[in-house]
Amino acid sequence: MKKVRIGAAQGFYGDTIEAAVATAEKGDVQYLCFDALAELTMAILVKDKRKNENAGFTKDIPQQMKALLPYVKEKGIKLLTNGGGINPIGAQQEILRVARELGVRGLKVAVVTGDNVLNRIPEFLEKGYTLNHLETGKPIEDVKERLEFANAYIGAEPIVKALEGGADIVVTGRTTDTAQFLAPLIYEFGWSLDEWDKLASGVFMGHLLECSAQSTGGNFSGNWWEIEGFDRMGYPIAEVSDNGNFIISKVEDRGGLVTVDTVKEQMLYEIHDPSAYLTPDVIVDLTNVKLENTGVNKVSVTGVKGKPRTDTLKVVMGYENGYASQVIVGFSWPDAMLKAKKVDETIRIQLERYGLNYQEVRTDFMGYNSLSGPLAYDSQSELNEVFLRMVVRADTKQEAARFSRLFPPIALNGPPSMSGFAGNASPRALIGMWSTLLPREEVENQMKVEVVEV
């Protein structure tokens, strides 16, 4: 019976490549799949591209390629990544450059384009698509002039085409997190695009792998102190059968733990209705999924069901939404909390006096309520120390920058023992997210797959 072994290589932009190298070396995998893009990542890449026309893909691509190309060459492992971000062609060029530099020959690098629809917004509006916000129903006119990016979430199909074209490496833009993981299964097993249960199983496998160690003991809420090797976590590996069922494991001598308890937490991560997880490839139903411990660090997954995919694709756009400026300062016992509160009060008096009318002024007390807000337990009196965090929302970068300048004088003018001032960081841009739906053919008719050999 043919099996396909797939390794998780990257859970987000900035992830370590160490685990992927270990999997390439010892994991007996045919594919290493990357999910480099979170909602926020596109905004970061847009800014990069604005500064440099050749940028806009994840900057760790050259390091990843240097680390993994030897395995691509020696073992025939294929690499699939959506790290192309806002500039997949630039990413392809970069991969080819690294390959030439390393003297690798006969390597086929494919690029998928067509997800970037920013320049097509006027065309869509003209055709009568409202592009209203998916959740709030608000009209696009509210943000149309401030759009920074607009990308359709595309599925596995173009990646399958690239693999059929002989690609060793496939780089895409905004494919879904799971597309890179599903594509090899369709290609290897020859699944039809309407074998919904199998496709759903492939997507769910991708879901369990796309956040790297989050299914192998990372971010585990159970007895996390029993997890060994946080310093060298093994990323999940899936061994998939033709019927879609699969087994999750990891490289044995890496850290982490694969059990039903670690895997099930990831099962619901960022899932809404578990009977209808919408993807461009299939609607996934998780309500009959069975997870079983079948050995040390081995969990078998069966029972994933699928329903026909929808006729629409989700488009996520980001729009410029003002600037935030943040200051963090610490206070020590005694009366740490009282001191921090006094400074909060002092700053707010000054904001009023200087006529700084920010859209929002937020105060948190780090070490007390900054991560739990109104749910924090009431035990303020004997805190050893507390950090005051204040942050404002402003229309412009200049206005935002004025905020942090209020703080240095407080060190000498205010309550005693203010310390640990982290310095005035420059304001950061805030990006609003706008989700909408488009008929899938509007995007798919412009999708392109190109393969280049070095």
Q: Kindly give, in sequence order, each residue whose CB lies less than 8 Å from that of residue 128, ignoring residues fewer than 6 positions away.
A: none
Q: Beta strand 169-171 with 305-307: parallel, antiparallel or unpaired?
A: unpaired
Q: Does 291 sit near another protein (CB under 8 A)?
A: yes
Nearer to another protein, 219 or 424 (CB): 219
Using CB under 8 A, which of 54, 372, 381, 398 touches another protein? 372
Q: Using alpha carbons only, what angle is made at residue 147 by residues 143 and 152, rounded to the nearest 5 degrees?
A: 110
- Binds another protein (CB under 8 A): choice among 270, 292, 311, 382: 270
DSSP 228-255: --GGGBPPPEEEEETTS-EEEE--TTSB
Q: Is the bond into 334 cis (omega within 30 degrees of 0)?
A: yes
Between residues 67 and 430, which has the closer beta carbon with respect to another protein? Answer: 430
In angstroms, the Cα distances linking 341 to 56, 142, 296, 407, 413 are 42, 37, 52, 14, 15
Regarding 274 and contact with another protein (CB under 8 A), the answer is: yes
Contact between 275 and another protein per CB under 8 A: yes
Is 370 one of the binding residues for another protein (CB under 8 A)?
A: yes
Q: Which of 245, 293, 321, 446 binds another protein (CB under 8 A)?
A: 321
Q: Could you say which of 127, 130, 352, 371 contacts another protein (CB under 8 A)?
A: 371
Determine, following the binding rule CB under 8 A, whether residue 393 of this chain makes contact with another protein.
yes
268 binds another protein (CB under 8 A): yes
Which of 362, 398, 420, 453 touches another protein by CB under 8 A?
362
Q: Which is nearer to another protein, 275 or 426 (CB)?
A: 275
- CA-based torsion, 284, 31, 245, 444: positive or negative: positive
Among 373, 384, 412, 445, binds another protein (CB under 8 A): 373
Strands (E), 142-296: 147-152, 169-171, 237-241, 246-249, 277-278, 283-285, 290-295
Residue 300 interacts with another protein (CB under 8 A): yes or no: no
Smallest distance from the beta carbon of 75 to another protein, in angstroms?
A: 34
Measured in degrees and rounded to the nearest 5, phi and psi for residue 73 equal -70, -50
Query: Closest separation between CB of residue 210 and another protein, Å?
Result: 12
Asked if 431 interacts with another protein (CB under 8 A), we say yes
Q: Is 303 in the site for another protein (CB under 8 A)?
A: yes
Contact stretch for another protein (CB under 8 A) within 22-30, 332-340, 401-409, 430-438: 430-438
Asked if residue 288 binds another protein (CB under 8 A), the reply is: yes
Interacting residues of 339 by C-beta distance below 8 A, sequence separation 6+: 331, 414, 415, 416, 417, 418
Three-state SS letters, 105-124: CCCEEEEEECCECHHHHHHH
Under rule CB under 8 A, residue 228 binds another protein? no
Q: Which two tokens stand for residue 146?
A: 């401030």
For residue 395, the 8-state DSSP code is S
Q: Which amino acid is at 35?
A: D
- Dig out the tokens for 31 from the structure: 């594919």
Distance CA(8)–CA(34), nearest Å, equals: 6
Asked if 98 touches another protein (CB under 8 A), the answer is: no
In the complex with another protein, the residue whose CB is nearer, 41 or 297, is 41
**Please, what is the Cα angle at 192 between 1 and 250, to 5 degrees?**
45
Question: Which residue among 28, 48, 142, 261 contacts another protein (CB under 8 A)?
Answer: 261
d(CA 212, CA 230): 13
Q: Is 357 in the site for another protein (CB under 8 A)?
A: no
391 binds another protein per the rule CB under 8 A: yes
- Say how far residue 112 (Cα) sits from the centre of its chain: 19
Site for another protein, rule CB under 8 A: 39-40, 43, 135, 219-223, 225, 260-261, 264-275, 286-291, 303, 318, 321, 324, 360, 362, 364, 366, 370-375, 377, 389, 391-393, 430-433, 435
